Amino acid sequence: MNDYIPQEIEPKWQAKWEADGLYHADIDESRPKHYALTMLPYPSGDLHIGHWYAMTPSDARARYKRMNGFNVMFPIGFDSFGLPAENAAISRGIHPKKWTYANIENMRKQLRSMGAMWDWRREAVSSNPQYYKWSEWFFIQLYKHGLAYRKMSPVDFCPHCNTTLAREQVWGEDRHCERCETPVIKKDLEQWFFRTTRYADELLNYEGMDWPERVKVLQTNWIGRSEGAEVRFSVISDQSSALPAPVPPWPGRQDRQAQVSEVEGSLITVFTTRPDTLWGATFMVLSPEHPLVEKITTPDHKVEVEAYKTQAARQTDIEREAVDKEKTGVFTGGYAVNPVNGEKIPIWIADYVLMTYGTGAIMAVPAHDERDFAFAIRYGLPIIPVIDRPDGISKSLVFPGSVAPGFADLLQTANIEFYAAPVGSLGDGLFVTLRREQVDGYAALMRQHLQPGNWNEIVGAHWLFIFDDGIMELDGVSSDQAILARCKAIYPPVNHNRTVMEMVNSLPFYRDVLFHADYGAMINSGEFSGTPGETAKRRVTQWLKAKGVGDFAVNYKLRDWLISRQRYWGAPIPMINCQKCGWNPVPEEQLPVLLPDDVAWKPTGESPLKLHPTWKQAQCPVCGGAAERETDTMDTFMCSSWYHLRYLSPHYDKAPFDPAEYNYWMPVDTYTGGIEHATMHLIYTRFFHKALRDMGVTEGAEPMIQLHNQGMVLGEDHEKMSKSRGNVVAPDKLVARYGADAVRAYLMFFARWDMGAPWNSTGIDGTVRWLRRVWTLVSERSGPGTCSPESRRNLRRKVHQSLRRVTRDFETFEFNTIVSALMELLNTMYAAREAGAVGTPEWDEATDIYLRMLAPVCPHIAEELWAHIGKPYSIHTQPWPQVDEAAAQEDEITIPIQVNGKLRDRIVVPADTEDEQVKSAALASQAVQKYLAGKPPRQVIYVKGRLVNVVA
RNA sequence: GCCGGAGUGGCGGAACUGGCAGACGCGCACGACUCAAAAUCGUGUUCCUUCGGGAGUGUGGGUUCGAUUCCCACCUUCGGCACCA
C-alpha cells in the first residue's frame, strides 16, 4: 500500500460523501433523532483555528451519535449581520453585503475542508431576506404580545462622526472614538426593548436542563434576583420645616422597567433589600441620570450638579460600580422626608447609583452599607447604627490621663480584655474590647473614674458617650450633633469633624466595629426597636404597606433587552410611525422590509438608512397617510436567538419553520459553543423560546436540553488571537501541510476541550506520526498468526478496555483522552504485532474496532483504511462496537501497599482474591514488616481492588 | 471592582466516587538503521540524594489512615460585565 498522503484521500472522500448525500438529515420516524447544534459562526472572512476547535469535537460527537443509531441533524449557517461589515464599508468602501457574501463563500470552502458531517441543504444565512423576513415577523409577534416597547436609553455617541458607538469602538481611559479620537458622550435616544424581565423568574429555573453548573450560576447571578421593598420618599423644599404632606396612596404593582419613568411629582421611589434599616437612612442618592434630578436641584447647586452629570456620563457602568473606587457625589440642595421618622434628609447624586438597576435611586444607610459608609464619611453625612451587631462586640479607647490611676487594674479584676499602647505622642492609652454583657459594668466603672474635663466613648454594638456629668447615647441625628458639640467643647482638635462617626473613624482601633452589613435585631428604630433580624424585613415592609408608603418588591439585575441599533447592516425593525396613529407594525403581508442596496457611506459611519432619500417613506398601516419607517435595525443577538429553528427548514416560506420538522427535531439535544456566550446569547435564546411558547409558536420550556462549552484557543504567546497582535493561527495552512484528520485529532488532543489553552504548534507532529503508524499497521494484513493464546487474550482485553474508555469519553465530551486511548491501544497493537498477532481473529477484531473508534475523530483515513481492509462503504454508517465486558476483565490486579500513607510495596493477586487474603498478603510483605518493626499494625485499610494502607 | 473558571515535570496534559501523582503526546538525551542526513524503530526522561531514602500538584493553614481531589484564607491568570459576536 502507498504512503499516507492525506492531501489525496481527503478531497476524494469529501467529494464522494457529498455526492452520496451521506450526511443528509431527513425525518425518519423509525429512528431516534439527535439534533446536534454548534454555535452559528460570524463570517469574519477567514476561518479561525477557534472555529475548528469548537466544531471538530462537536462533529466527532455527532458522528459518534450517528454510529449509535441516532438520526443526527448537524446543521451550519452564518450569523452574517453585524458591525465588522459596516467597518469594512467605511474603511475600504466595500458594500457590507458584498463583503459579507464574499466572506461566506470563502468560509464555506474552508468549512468543507474539515470533513464535517454538515447537511448543507439546511444552511441558514441570517442576512438573507428569506431569513430576516422572519426575524422581522418575530419582532412583530413580540410587539403584538406586549413584549416590545420603546423607551429612552443612553448610547455612547461620537459627536464628530454623528454615530452611535459600540463598546469596542470606544478606546482608552478618556473613552474616545476609535475613528476620530473625539471623546464620546452619552446621548439619550428612544429605542426598542424586549421585556426579558417578564421572564426573569422562569429563566432562573433550570429544571430538566443538562447544562454546566458554572453556566447556571453565571446566569443566576446575571439575572440577580433580590427580594426587598420599595419605599416612597416625598421631596420637600429646603425651607420647609413643617411636617411634610402625607404621602399619597401606593399605586400598586406596575411593570418593573416602566417604573422609572413613572417617578413624578415630588415622590422618589427606592428599592431596598434592607427595609429593616430604614431608620438609619440619613440621606438619599439619585443616579445622576435620574429624571427628578433637574427638578430637585436648587439654583445654587445647579452648576456643580451639571458638571457632575457630565463626568458621570463619560464613565462605563463597570467603572461606576467598582467597589474600591473613591465614592464621589454632589448635593442637589433638595431634601426628602424619611417616611418612618419624619427626618428631613438631603438628596445627593452619585455615580455609584446606576439608572439601570432598581429605580435609579437609593436610600443611603451608611451604618450598614459599605459604599454608603464610605460616601457618608467623605461628605460628613450622619451615620446612625440601626441594626445590632450580631457579635455583640464594642470597643473603647481610654485616653492617657483621662481616668484615675489604677484603672487598668480594675479592668483586669473585672476580666475585661484590653491592652496598653501609645496613643500618638500623648502616652499610653488602654485599648478595650468589650463583650455585650460587660458594657454596663464598664460604663459604671468609667463614670466613677473618669477625670473631669474628659470623655470616654464605647462604640460598636453599643454607642455610649460618657461625660463627667452623665452618659449620652448615639441613637439619632440630633444626639449625633449634641454629642459632637460636647466633645468639641472638651477637646478642640476634633472641631473639624462633622459627625461623631467621622470623629471615631479617625481612630484605626475602632474601624472594624463602626460598620456592618449583617442582619440583627433592630435598634434606634422607634417602635420597631428590638425586632429580631429574622422577621425585621417582613414586619417593616408590612407596616410600610399598611401606611401606604411602600410594599414588598422583587428586583433583578437583569435588564430589558435593548434591540435597537443605529446601523445599516441588520434586520430592519418593521415598525412605522405615523403622526396621527403613532407606532404600528408593518402589515405581515408586506414583509420582509428589505434593506436598500443603494446606500451612501459617509466616512463617519452615520447610519445610511437615516440618510437614504426615500427608504423611510411609508404609508401608515392604520390611516393610510404618509408615515415614517423605523430606521434602526435589530441587534444581531435577535438573529441568533432563533437560528436553530431556521435550520429546520431554511427554505420554508409559510412560517419561520415547518411544523413537521419542528415536531420531529426539536428540542436541540446537544448545544455546543463558547463559554463567552454563557450569559447574553444563552439567556436571550431561552427568553425567545419561552416568549414564543407563550404565543403558541414553539413548545416546551427550553430550546436546548444539553449544553457543553468549549474554552478558548489563545495565541501561542498566551494572548487572545487577533490580527493586530499577529498571533492568529490559520487552519488552512495546517490542513494543507498535515491534512484535516491530523488537525482534527490534534485539536481534540492538545487541550481539555472545556478549558481551552494557548496554541502549541510543536505538538501536532505527534498526531501526524500517530496517523502514519495507524496507516502502516492497518496496511499490513497478513502475518504468521503465531502468537500465544495468552497474548491474544491480552490484545482483546486492551481493545475492549479502550472501547469502554472511548465510549465513556464521547458521552462526557472528554475528547483529549479519546485520542490518548487510541494512541495507547495502537502501542499495544504494535507490541502484539511483534508477538505475531497479525493474522489471528483477535487481530482482525482489533483492526475493525480500531477503525470504527477512529472514524468520528478522523473520518477520512478511517474511511480509506476501512475500504482497504475490504469492508463495505461507508464506515460512517456502521454501528458503534459493543464492549465485551468479559474480555475487558482483568485476571490479575496489582495492589499498592502503603504504610502510614506512603507507598512501600506492591503485590500482584488474582482479581477475585478475598479481602482478608489481600490484607494478610500485604502484611506478609517484607517492606511492610520492616516498617512495622515487629509491632502489630494499629489498622489495616483495604480499598477493594485499589490499595492497602497499613497504619503502624 | 463584581460574577464564573483554571493553576500538576522543560511544554500540552492524565489521574473515574478521597486511594499507586505525572497516562498519552511534544521536546530532549542516548542507541539502532544509514557513507551521511531525514524518516523510522528502540531505551531513558519530576526534582534532590550520602543511593538508605527524601521532597513534590500556585502559596499558607485545616479535615482524614490517606488530599491534585474536600474546607478556609491568599496569590496569579483566563472568560463575562448588557452596541464585538
pLDDT over 90 at A39, yes or no: yes
> Domain limits of chain A?
32-140+637-714, 226-386+530-555, 394-515, 750-888, 892-951
Distance from CA(A951) to C1'(B50), angstroms, rounded: 29
Residues A67-74: what's their mean pLDDT? 98
Residues A583-595: what's their mean pLDDT? 96
Tell me which residue has cell 497499613. Answer: A950
What is the per-residue pLDDT for A248? 45
What is the per-residue pLDDT for A253? 37
Distance from CA(A750) to C1'(B27), angstroms, rounded: 15
Nucleotide nearest A895, CA–C1', reads: B20
Helix or strand holding residue A713 (H, E): strand A712-714
CATH number of A32-140+637-714: 3.40.50.620
Nucleotide nearest A556, CA–C1', reads: B82
Nucleotide nearest A822, CA–C1', reads: B24
What is the per-residue pLDDT for A326? 85
Of the pLDDT bands very low, low, confident and very high (cuts 50, 70, 90), residue A761 is confident
How many whole angstroms separate alpha carbon A668 and alpha carbon A704? 5
What is the per-residue pLDDT for A602? 82
Kindly indicate whether the domain formed by A226-386+530-555 is annotated with CATH number 3.40.30.10.
Answer: no
Helix or strand holding residue A141 (H, E): helix A129-144
Nearest residue to B6 (CA, C1')? Answer: A755
Nearest residue to B81 (CA, C1')? Answer: A318
Mind listing the pLDDT tens digit for each residue in A638-651?
Answer: 999 999 999 999 99
Q: Return the C-alpha cell found at A393.
A: 462586640
A835: left (phi over 0), alpha (psi -120 to 50) or beta: alpha
Looking at A155-297, list the stretches that DSSP marks H as alpha helix, in order from N- to C-terminal side: 200-203, 213-223, 293-296
How many whole angstroms separate alpha carbon A813 and alpha carbon A47? 23
In angstroms, the Cα distances linking A133 to A166, A227, A637, A639 are 25, 41, 15, 11
What is the per-residue pLDDT for A199? 97
How many whole angstroms separate alpha carbon A688 and alpha carbon A199? 10
End-to-end Cα, chain A, rounded Å: 62
Nearest residue to B64 (CA, C1')? Answer: A901
* Calculated CA dihedral for residues A235, A241, A246, A248, nearest 10 degrees: -20
Chain B positions under 7 Å from a protein CB? 1-6, 11-15, 19-21, 23-27, 39-42, 54-55, 65-67, 78-85
Distance from CA(A946) to C1'(B26), angstroms, rounded: 31
Residues A733-747: what's their mean pLDDT? 95
Nucleotide nearest A947, CA–C1', reads: B19
Nearest residue to B53 (CA, C1')? Answer: A904
Nucleotide nearest A80, CA–C1', reads: B85
How many whole angstroms separate alpha carbon A55 and alpha carbon A681? 18
Class of residue A208 by CB neighbours under 10 A (exposed 0-12, middle 13-18, buried 19+):
exposed
Nucleotide nearest A317, CA–C1', reads: B81
Tell me which residue has cell 413584549. Answer: A147
How many whole angstroms separate alpha carbon A402 and alpha carbon A449? 8
Distance from CA(A705) to C1'(B73), angstroms, rounded: 38
Peptide bond into A936 cis (omega under 30): no
Tell the CATH topology of A892-951. Ubiquitin-like (UB roll) (3.10.20)
Of A691, A754, A819, the C-alpha closest to A211 is A754
Mind listing the pLDDT tens digit for each residue in A412-423?
Answer: 999 999 999 999
Mind listing the pLDDT tens digit for each residue in A283-326?
Answer: 999 999 999 999 999 999 999 999 999 999 888 888 888 888 88
Mind listing the pLDDT tens digit for each residue in A556-565?
Answer: 999 999 999 9
Distance from CA(A906) to C1'(B53), angstroms, rounded: 18
Nucleotide nearest A766, CA–C1', reads: B25
Of A730, A743, A821, the C-alpha closest to A10 is A743
pLDDT over 60 at A178, yes or no: yes
> What string of H, E and C letters represents the secondary structure of A762-802?
CCHHHHHHHHHHHHHHHHCCCCCCCCCHHHHHHHHHHHHHH
What is the per-residue pLDDT for A247? 47
Q: Return the C-alpha cell found at A789.
A: 493464546
Of the pLDDT bands very low, low, confident and very high (cuts 50, 70, 90), residue A241 is very low
Tell the CATH topology of A394-515. Alpha-Beta Plaits (3.30.70)
pLDDT over 70 at A260, yes or no: no
Distance from CA(A736) to C1'(B37), angstroms, rounded: 25
Distance from CA(A914) to C1'(B20), angstroms, rounded: 21
What is the per-residue pLDDT for A238? 62
Nearest residue to B77 (CA, C1')? Answer: A718
Nucleotide nearest A167, CA–C1', reads: B83
Distance from CA(A82) to C1'(B85), angstroms, rounded: 8
Mind listing the pLDDT tens digit for each residue in A15-35?
Answer: 999 999 999 999 999 999 999
What is the per-residue pLDDT for A424? 84
What is the per-residue pLDDT for A239? 58
Nucleotide nearest A714, CA–C1', reads: B78
- Pairing of β A668-674 and β A33-38: parallel
Q: Which CATH superfamily is domain A750-888 in?
A: Isoleucyl-tRNA Synthetase; Domain 1 (1.10.730.10)
Distance from CA(A218) to C1'(B10), angstroms, rounded: 37
Comparing A128-137, A256-265, A383-392, which segment has the lowest mean pLDDT? Answer: A256-265
Nucleotide nearest A770, CA–C1', reads: B25
Distance from CA(A648) to C1'(B16), angstroms, rounded: 38
Of the pLDDT bands very low, low, confident and very high (cuts 50, 70, 90), residue A935 is confident
Residues A572-599: what's their mean pLDDT? 96
Distance from CA(A212) to C1'(B12), angstroms, rounded: 24
pLDDT over 80 at A781, yes or no: no
CB A547 within 8 A of CB A339: yes
Residues A274-285: what's their mean pLDDT? 96
Length of chain A: 952
Distance from CA(A2) to C1'(B35), angstroms, rounded: 28
DSSP string covering A814-860, please?
A: -HHHHHHHHHHHHHHHHHHHHTT-TTSHHHHHHHHHHHHHHTTTSHH
Distance from CA(A778) to C1'(B15), angstroms, rounded: 31
